[in-house]
Amino acid sequence: MKCLRPAFRYLAHISFLLAASFPIFAVTTTEIRETQLCDRIEQIHQTRQLMVDGEAVSATHLIPEFYDRRDYTLAWLRESSMDELMETIEASSQEGLIPADYHLAPLQTMLEDHRNGGLTPCERADLDILLTDALLRIGYHYAFGKVDPRRLDGDWNLKRDISGRDPVEVMQAAIDSDSLAAFLHELAPTSPLYDEMKAALAEHRAIAAHGGWPQVPTGPTLKPGMQDERIAFIRQRLLITDDLLDGASPDPAFFDEELKQAVIDFQGRHTLDADGIVGKSTVAAMNVPVDDRIDQIRVNLERARWIYRDLPDEFIIADIAGFRAAIVKDRKVTWDSAVQVGKPFRKTPVFQDTMKYIVINPTWTVPPTILEKDILPKIRKDPGYLKKKNMRVIDRNGKTIDATNIDWANTTRRNFPYMIRQDPGPNNALGRIKFMFPNKHAIYLHDTPHKSGFKYTERAFSSGCIRVQKPVELAEILLNDPEKWSQEEIRKIIESKVTTTVKLEKQMPVYLLYWTVNSDDGIFYFKPDVYSRDAGVLAALNGKFEFDAPDNMPDWYKN
């Protein structure tokens, strides 16, 4: 391994001959190590890359700054810190991460040689750099996740910054801490959901280690009271995941009441209609391989690392894949409601903003995309469509235009100089209340005249906005004045049909997020990947390590 500057390699070679007669000329091991560190750091400065024992060093901005500040002295002097780092790396799989991303195998070999006294000064310096890079990698992943969500979704706007901390100082504090493992785990999410997902990951990996669960043969729909050989497979499948607690049955092929309840529990945990009947959808959910469920949990552990940083004490969350919205205060859900979200071809975006006001009896101005794809075709088909839907054509000044004078057959989105607005009323597309957090997507929460959509388990019916089942309850909570803004008073304004805008005295952060797993009171739920987003996250999570710097890095990092 040629890692010393030529002059120092020569001095290192003759130092032993000179030391006996001329001790003043001896080159110490410490000096050689410091020279090697300086040499390696200089290489990074010049090329922004470095390979150590076949492993690429990733933090090519942070590591030079770290060792520059240390005057190129070794950082890893305590065996306990090295041990704790290695234990944390080995345990990273429990977080859904990949230990090999943190140089596990080469570090194991180098540390064994180090403890056996087999490392040259040059190799000891390389070990120090590789340990530092591993620390940076795993700390970065615990704090922000391995995958940068902005690479997958251009709408992503949640904070991803270091909160004004100097990363080099954080790194040094970690190495100097009494417990490196504890320091690193403080960077990971502390949410109960994250811990429950970790527990579910361990449980499903244990199931996989014992061979997984059986595949239920396809066939006709099975109902309570029926006799069928396939029912024995269903019993075995539900026993493995504890949906069925007692497998003892005088006739395993008989669909009894106990099995019906187990099926209902399974269906509830997999966002299916919980009717106790085993049809195609239930069989398909039972036959999802355990390895796929493991990947699904890993994907959502990663999403948790993106999100559970610096959350406010109170906020609204819309869970797109779960078709629910909730208010969370002090980490507890204080209100929740079923919602309808965007159709797969009109996806509800994932982003964060701030709710600022409420509009009771809103008008609805048709967005350009909906105008082109929905409204214009309907007007061409039915000239009376606008009147039936309580809609008017208006100009830029809000003046009503006679719709009968418009050549609808040749009208397109691009040559239409007006807007179409729907007046307030029970059939308004936004219902009777909309909840505004102004954003570039023109997405918000609102009531809906399409109440029938709430009877379905999967509710991807909207054009992107989020339809709320309990809007009057939500308005009362957000307005936070039971005397002035009780549900009764809000309904009085609704009946007046007068458009009323009310600013919130306390603005509320809103998070539109996408989770395909969840946990509630220790019960673990799997949800449909309605927008097929899991695959992209999983591919990046299993892919090669890439360092995407957080926001607000110090100026020295940008140079």
Catalytic center residues? 446, 465
**Cα separation, 232 vs 210, whole angstroms:** 19
Which SS3 state, helix, strand or coil, does residue 16 take?
Answer: helix
Q: Are 139 and 527 in contact (CB under 8 A)?
A: no
**Cα separation, 348 vs 346, whole angstroms:** 7
**Cα separation, 179 vs 88, whole angstroms:** 11
Tell me the Ramachandran region of residue 53: left when phi exceeds 0, alpha when psi lies from -120 to 50, beta otherwise. left
Tell me the Ramachandran region of residue 276: left when phi exceeds 0, alpha when psi lies from -120 to 50, beta otherwise. left
* Count of CA atoms in the C-beta half-sphere (13 A) of 427: 8
* Residue 550 burial (C-beta neighbours within 10 Å; 0-12, 13-18, 19+): middle
Strand order through the sheet with 400-401: 364-365, 419-422, 391-394, 400-401
In 3D, which of 311, 307, 297, 305 has the Cα closest to residue 138?
A: 305
Q: Which residues is 222 bridged to in the sheet?
A: 278
Q: Which residues is 327 bridged to in the sheet?
A: 316, 335
Task: Return the number of other C-beta atoms located less than 10 Å from residue 481's C-beta.
Answer: 11
Q: Are 3 and 40 in contact (CB under 8 A)?
A: yes
Tallying the residues shown for the chain, one arrives at: 559
Q: Are 297 and 204 in contact (CB under 8 A)?
A: yes
Beta strand 324-329 with 314-319 is: antiparallel
Helix or strand (DSSP H, E) at 420: strand 419-422
Which SS3 state, helix, strand or coil, does residue 392 take?
Answer: strand
Q: Which residues is 254 bridged to in the sheet?
A: 227
Residue 277: phi and psi, rounded to 5, are -105, 130
Structure tokens belonging to residue 512:
């539109």
Structure tokens belonging to residue 207:
């199931």
Q: What is the residue-wise DSSP string for 336-389?
A: EEEEEEE-TTSPPPPEEEEEEEEEES--EEPPHHHIIIIIHHHHHH-TTHHHHT
**Cα separation, 244 vs 263, whole angstroms:** 8
In 3D, which of 283, 269, 296, 279 has the Cα closest to residue 457?
A: 269
